[in-house]
Amino acid sequence: MGFFNKFFSKEKKETLDNGLDKTRQGMFSKLKHAIAGKSKIDDDVLDELEEVFVTSDVGVETTLKIIDRIQQRVARDHYVGTSELNDLLCDEITKLLADNNNADMEDFTVPADKKPYVIMVVGVNGVGKTTTIGKLAYQFKKAGNRVVLGAADTFRAAADEQLEIWGQRVGVPVIHHDHYEDEEKKDPNKHPDPAAVAYKAVAKAKEENADVVIVDTAGRLHNNVNLMNQLTKMKNVMKKVLPEAPHEILLVIDGSTGQNAFEQAKQFVAATEVNALAVTKLDGTAKGGVVIGISDQFQIPVKYIGLGEGIEDLQIFRKNEFVKSLFGKKD
Q: Which residue numbers belong to the known binding site?
A: 123-130, 216-220, 280-283
Residues making up the binding site for GTP = 123-130, 216-220, 280-283
Residue 327: which of 133, 84, 114 has the closest Cα?
Answer: 84
Q: How far apart are CA 2 and CA 246, in angstroms?
A: 33
* Separation CA 96–CA 317 (nearest Å): 15
DSSP string, 200-238: HHHHHHHHTT-SEEEEE-----TT-HHHHHHHHHHHHHH
Q: How far apart are CA 174 and CA 151, in angstroms?
A: 7
- Compute CA distances 77 → 63, 73, 81, 226, 279, whole Å: 21, 6, 11, 53, 34
Distance CA 223, CA 205 (A): 32
Distance CA 241, CA 15 (A): 39
Separation of alpha carbons 52 and 47, rounded Å: 9
**169: closest CA among 195, 204, 130?**
130
3-state secondary structure of 156: coil
Please state, in angstroms and rounded to a whole number, the distance separating the CA atoms of residues 259 and 72.
28
Helix 319-326 vs helix 85-99: angle between axes, to the nearest 10 degrees?
Answer: 150
Using DSSP's 3-state secondary structure scheme, residue 307 falls into coil
Task: Determine contact, residues 290/266, Cβ cutoff 8 Å.
Answer: no
Q: Quote the CA–CA distance of 326 and 90 in Å, as a whole number.
A: 9
